[in-house]
Structure 1
Amino acid sequence: MKTDFKFSNLLGTVYRKGNLLFTPDGTCLLSPVGNRVSVFDLVHNTSYTLPFAHRTNIDRLDLSPRGNLLLTVDENGRAILTNFHRRIALHHFSFKSRVTALKFSPSGRHFAVGVGRRLQIWQTPSTPGTETNGEIEFAPFVLHRDLAAHFDSVLNIEWSSDSRFLLTASRDLTARVWSLDPEEGFEPTTLAGHRQGVVAAYFSGNQELIYTVSQDGALFRWEYVAKKDPDTMEDIADARWRIVKKDFFMQNNAKVNCAAFHAPSNFLVVGFSNGLFGLYDLPEFNMIHLLSVSQSNIDVVTINQTGEWLAFGSSKHGQLLVWEWQSESYILKQQGHLESMNALVYSPDGQKIVTTADDGKVKVWDVKSGFCIVTFTEHTSGVTACEFAKKGNVLFTASLDGSIRAWDLIRYRNFRTFTAPSRLSFSSLAVDPTGEVICAGSPDSFDIHVWSVQTGQLLDQLSGHEGPVSTLAFASDGNHLVSGSWDHTVRIWSIFGRTQTSEPLQLVSDVLSVAFRPDGKQVAASTLDGQLSFWSVHDAVQEGGIDGRRDVSGGRKVSDRRTAANVAGTKSFNRITYSADGSCILAGGNSKYICLYDVGTGSLVKKFTISVNTSIDGTQEILNSRDLTEAGPRALIDETGEASDLEDRVDRTLPGAKRGDAGARTTRPEVRVTSVDFAPTGRAFCAASTEGLLIYSLDTDFIFDPFDLDITITPSTILATLDAAKKAAASDTVDDDNTFLKALIMSFRLNESKLIRAVYEAIPPSDIPLVVRTVPTVYLPRLLRFVAHAAEETPHLEFNLMWIESLFGSHGRYLKDNSGTFAPELRAVQRAIDDIRENLKWMTEKNLYDLNYLLSQPVLAKKKPTNALMATDSGEMDGLDDQMEEADDGEGEWIGLE
């Protein structure tokens, strides 16, 4: 099987921390998910994760006004400049300290960052080789100005609409006005008067007003006016920025966490620490909305360019919301698991992934869109296992609350609940392929419980194990059940046989996970000592073994006294699963690695690193000795106790805690993989990890993947070649050079989708067979992939089908001989043709229904019943016209067609 799996998408986590960002067109939302960035397309209802990753969690991100450059900065001040459209990292840079604010100028020529209490203005990187002021610029980052006047961290930066001035808000209770370049008659101005830190400051649309918002809920309006004598109304002081109005939000001691201002429409959005947000019309300060969107504090809010959509993020519950305030409806409402995920499973059709977690929730994720489509909350404790019935419409979950629940995924409801005679917590689950019997194991009992799905009755309790049953699995034929226990044995049961005997297989350590090979002839078991064992089901003989301790070990926790290589004795695989063809086995455990082994040879085929995020414990191979203090590792010391505000020092993580513990220590999340599963097609696999739900795929699309590119292949030369081909076709001259083919090959070499589509759609239908017949075989995969994509995306039905027919007519034998190489492309073409067929079938059925509906409608006729349809059939059109004329006179009545 192919093993070249690449990271494809990140599900299960929609927001961690940092600011949210709309694209300039307002259709996509960028959200930081740990050390990666996810993009949510709000129009097409899809999401994807950018391929680059930071070394720590992302703090700030911003897009240039054109939307082509994305700048992301992590907790340590390290930045990555990315071409957003092509999804390519262009440059890495370090600001040497934590960045608290980031903003591109409206002109796109500069961006400003708040580095601690300093304001730095940098020139926006230009394309290498372009001339700037007569010189060729190569430096990606050039510092324009470095300003320092604040006494505490800069929290927010705003530019004026002409990009000449900046407005900064700081924790030192002030806001300041700066100029991009020194201007005559202008001096940097301090706006003081707030009693708590200023969260945000904004220019009005005409730049005549400034609004400042502080944490205590005060909104000040500033104008550039001179001080007047109240009696004579004459100027008695020079003009400067003065407070002309003070308003207060009054939210019962709730703090203002974030704010956003839409200058063209003059409305302000404010997020509070109690989960409420308010929408206000300025400068009159009229409240438009005041709604609760979260059970915890709102950390960030932003507005799209048109001012229609508001995006909110809450880091405590991992919530991401997009709300349309005019229609008062949600555009997007997503939330990840509150606790770590325990289990996952692919649906039989490969279109959905189900995850369960310690928070008691069961979530169903759509693989194509990346969104959670339904959440089940009936379980009252952690959900430990999940399995699908064979048809995929029924899902079974096991929980520590002592219940096994069956879910209908068509109506999205819990239709059956299974319990044991005594109160038990269930930790493992297996479903018979026919969906008629389910089995569950418990850490509180040594028996395996068997229920009937139809009746919900407990059929049997299988005894034999001398320790808790940790894992269960059914064979694909349903004849055998395998169970693994902490008593160091694996047992194979024939539960449908007359004698329910079991064959014990003795191992040397606790069994953590078992899996049946898809053909049902081999069982794999993972044990606590890091070993993988393979047994034959027919004769109960061990066929092989793998020592995986060295492979799964890697990553050192900050509290470890030994190196990563020396802690291998404590590492093991918590979950194993076979590939679709049974040739490989995928294993994951309490490590940053997922291992793929070849079952036949026992060799390690590939290791996948799930995370390089050092904000998570266990991702570093070598620790920095400077982070080891007398009080222990610096990462485990809670430094929030030194915060200036009491509200920030008190730890209220326990529910109902009012006072909290001001000296509480924090714990870092540890990198681990709790579950892995292959897609039914074998083209992808997913892993439930600390970072979220990671999907690795063989069908990852590259946005920019040039092929055989040289300096002569540019967009202008491709368009020139295409114009020459069009002129030759218009003049009916014989094109000996086959210029259309040349333009098509050039566009494939540059691999720009827009150029390929322009050339593709410009080729006349009469020239398609000639172009296809002469395409070099090296370009066939790309052409097949593009035609399949065009058949799904473009409305040119007959045109696309002509391309497909010509491709298979000219290169059918070559494609058949190399079907293994062209499998993804052929599968994509098959999917496109199936979609076309289904759409045509749906359209014809709809047209037939419409015609039947129209034919069944009553018509106006004479009082004397006359069959209009018979008149039409017999050719008596004159009689039908007379009917309609009399009906127009209002002398007819309604009758139905026979």
Structure 2
Amino acid sequence: MVKGVAVSADGARVASAGFDYSVMLWDFKAVAAVAALHGHEAAVNAVAFTPDGLRVVSGGDDGKVLLWRLGQGAPERVMTGHRGRVAGVAVASDGRMVASAAWDRTVRLWDLETGEQVAELTGHAGNVNAVAFTPDGGQVVSSGEDGTVRVWDRKDGREVAVLGGGGLPVNALALAPDGRHVVTGGIDGRVRVWDLEAGAEVSPALEGSDPAPVLGVAVSPDGNTVASAGVNGAVTLWALESGRVLHTLAGHRGPVWGLAFTPDSKRLLTAGGDGAIRIWDTATGAEVRTAEAAQVANASDMTKGERGAELFRRCGACHTVTPDGGNKAGPTLYGLFGRKIGTVPGYPYSAALRDGDIVWTAETVGELFRLGPDVVTPGTKMPVQTIGNDAEREELIRWLQKVTAPH
């Protein structure tokens, strides 16, 4: 599952947060993964670029906030202090401060250069799910399980406003570029717009025909469009000013958490439980391309029409199969058959795989997909995926034997 996605200010890079403990970096133009960053000890929930696009901040279930510099494999800063999962992160417009929202009921502010915590903001009566800076960087806005939207002064950590209250949990928020409007999405399936200056909700709330709980929201950089997504996998584009539905984007299988517009507002990236990052044209609502599909394009082209190639598409979000593919969120599968488990150079295996004694053969790979990695290699961080159909499992193995064989 992909829990979060972000686009750099120049539109050249994409970062994604994975349930497999990794942060992935992508070349947006090529729709290709360029690095897999390992440092979290649990699922990663949120990512954000610094304004210069040279660094990425991530937050995860391990309660840590990590700062990554592009081109380096290890975190530049590890910020600790939260006593619960970090659900959201944001970077101030001056690039000097990071805010993190966590399930310990706090928002914390961190000095980006030193990694030191500079403030702990308390007031939420439940888990805090989302956080953002106002465009001028002077205020922090957060939302959470208590149904409130809270506004804080960045300099002294003082709570300056509380919007809403007593309602259902708010899962997501985003700031409009005007610095005045806050968009939130909640468990009730509604998207609400709040006026920070007036301290009140702009009515009416945006509500689709299928009011499934909203998991993510985003506002386009031009301020015209709101994107929302939820547990049913559908993504809705709204006109911010009128509340009119512009497009409903269907393509994901399962919930969608991550939403990010490109700087020119012409594209929307969405990410969710099916392991894919999809790219959409915001003017037409048409899907442009998926990063998942691009990752297996080369391998699939070698064997067009084969069922094994189609079955591998979901695996391609984490693994490569070509000699020059390298490691991603998972180790390369090139040269898989006959290789001992946990032995690909440079990949940070979990202890369950590093200390295992399995040799990958058609039989052992078949057992992995029949029973699941949680059964075959207990304690692994591999996502649980199985193929119950014997014939399809054999098709995938035959295809893997063909494309991963050293040549």
Do both share a fold (TM > 0.5)?
A: yes
Q: Counterpart of 1:438 in 2: which secondary structure? A: strand
Within-5 A mapping of 1:629-778: 633-635=370-372, 638=375, 666=379, 669-670=382-383
The aligned counterpart of 1:582 is 265
- Contact 1:430 1:439 (8 Å CA) reproduced: yes
Identity, % of aligned positions: 25
The aligned counterpart of 2:245 is 542
The aligned counterpart of 1:678 is none
Cα distance, 1:354 vs. partner? 0.6
Query: 2:318 aligned with 1:611, yes or no?
Result: yes
Q: Distance in 2 between matches of 1:465 and 1:348?
A: 35
Q: Distance in 1 between matches of 2:195 and 2:31?
A: 40
Listed one character per residue, the Cα deviations across residues 605-639 of structure 1 (whole Å, up to 9, x for unaligned) are 111122236997xx9xxxx999888xx94335756
CA 1:465–1:574 in 2, change beyond 3 Å: closer, same or farther?
Answer: farther
The aligned counterpart of 2:32 is 7
RMSD over aligned CA atoms reads 3.0
- Contact 1:466 1:487 (8 Å CA) reproduced: no
CA 1:360–1:668 in 2, change beyond 3 Å: closer, same or farther?
Answer: closer
Q: Counterpart of 1:12 in 2: which secondary structure? A: strand
The aligned counterpart of 1:431 is 133
Q: Distance in 2 between matches of 1:369 and 1:590?
A: 28
Q: Distance in 2 between matches of 1:593 and 1:367?
A: 22
Q: 2:62 aligns with which of 344, 359, 367?
A: 359
Within-5 A mapping of 1:155-194: none
Query: 2:305 aligned with 1:602, yes or no?
Result: no
Cα distance, 1:524 vs. partner? 0.8
The aligned counterpart of 1:450 is 151
CA 1:639–1:603 in 2, change beyond 3 Å: closer, same or farther?
Answer: closer
- Contact 1:584 1:597 (8 Å CA) reproduced: yes
- Contact 1:361 1:383 (8 Å CA) reproduced: yes
- Contact 1:480 1:492 (8 Å CA) reproduced: yes
Query: 2:92 aligned with 1:397, yes or no?
Result: no
Provide structure 2 residue ranges, at least 5 long, that are not aligned to the other structure: 1-10, 13-27, 293-316, 322-328, 334-361, 386-407
Q: Distance in 2 between matches of 1:501 and 1:6?
A: 38
The aligned counterpart of 2:324 is none
- Contact 2:192 2:201 (8 Å CA) reproduced: no
Cα distance, 1:432 vs. partner? 1.0
CA 1:637–1:409 in 2, change beyond 3 Å: closer, same or farther?
Answer: closer
- Contact 2:139 2:151 (8 Å CA) reproduced: yes
Cα distance, 1:461 vs. partner? 2.1
Q: Distance in 2 between matches of 1:637 and 1:8?
A: 26
Q: Distance in 1 between matches of 2:129 and 2:285?
A: 29
Listed one character per residue, the Cα deviations across residues 323-356 of structure 1 (whole Å, up to 9, x for unaligned) are xxxxxxxxxxxxx111111111000010110111
Q: Distance in 2 between matches of 1:535 and 1:585?
A: 13
- Contact 2:98 2:112 (8 Å CA) reproduced: yes
Q: Counterpart of 1:350 in 2: which secondary structure? A: coil
TM-score by length of 2: 0.66
The amino acid of 2:56's aligned partner reads I
CA 1:408–1:466 in 2, change beyond 3 Å: closer, same or farther?
Answer: same
- Contact 1:578 1:585 (8 Å CA) reproduced: yes
Q: 1:482 aligns with which of 183, 189, 214?
A: 183
Q: 2:91 aligns with which of 388, 394, 397?
A: 388
Q: Counterpart of 1:427 in 2: which secondary structure? A: strand
CA 1:669–1:369 in 2, change beyond 3 Å: closer, same or farther?
Answer: closer
Q: Distance in 2 between matches of 1:584 and 1:469?
A: 26
Q: Counterpart of 2:237 in 1: which secondary structure? A: strand
The amino acid of 2:281's aligned partner reads D
Cα distance, 1:462 vs. partner? 1.4
The amino acid of 1:360's aligned partner reads G
Q: Matched residue pairs, number?
A: 296
Listed one character per residue, the Cα deviations across residues 526-551 of structure 1 (whole Å, up to 9, x for unaligned) are 12212111111212211222112xxx
Please identify, of 366-375 and 524-533, the stretch whose mean Cα deviation from structure 2 is larger: 366-375
Cα distance, 1:578 vs. partner? 0.3
The aligned counterpart of 2:295 is none
The aligned counterpart of 2:225 is 522
- Contact 2:56 2:68 (8 Å CA) reproduced: yes
- Bigger-Rg structure (1/2): 1
CA 1:464–1:491 in 2, change beyond 3 Å: closer, same or farther?
Answer: farther
Q: Distance in 1 between matches of 2:177 and 2:198?
A: 16
Provide structure 1 residue ranges, at least 5 long, that are not aligned to the other structure: 14-335, 554-570, 641-664, 673-898
Give 1 or 2: higher helix fraction. 1
CA 1:341–1:671 in 2, change beyond 3 Å: closer, same or farther?
Answer: farther
The aligned counterpart of 2:275 is 592
CA 1:418–1:502 in 2, change beyond 3 Å: closer, same or farther?
Answer: farther
Within-5 A mapping of 1:226-305: none
The aligned counterpart of 2:120 is 417
Q: Distance in 2 between matches of 1:600 and 1:455?
A: 42
Listed one character per residue, the Cα deviations across residues 646-689 of structure 1 (whole Å, up to 9, x for unaligned) are xxxxxxxxxxxxxxxxxxx55662279xxxxxxxxxxxxxxxxx
The amino acid of 2:65's aligned partner reads V
Within-5 A mapping of 1:3-402: 4-13=29-38, 336-402=39-105
Listed one character per residue, the Cα deviations across residues 729-760 of structure 1 (whole Å, up to 9, x for unaligned) are xxxxxxxxxxxxxxxxxxxxxxxxxxxxxxxx
- Contact 1:592 1:671 (8 Å CA) reproduced: no
- Contact 1:489 1:505 (8 Å CA) reproduced: yes
Bigger relative CO (Cα 8 Å, ≥ 6 apart): 2
CA 1:637–1:513 in 2, change beyond 3 Å: closer, same or farther?
Answer: closer
CA 1:531–1:465 in 2, change beyond 3 Å: closer, same or farther?
Answer: farther
- Contact 1:360 1:380 (8 Å CA) reproduced: yes
Q: Distance in 2 between matches of 1:402 and 1:543?
A: 35
Q: Distance in 1 between matches of 2:372 and 2:59?
A: 29
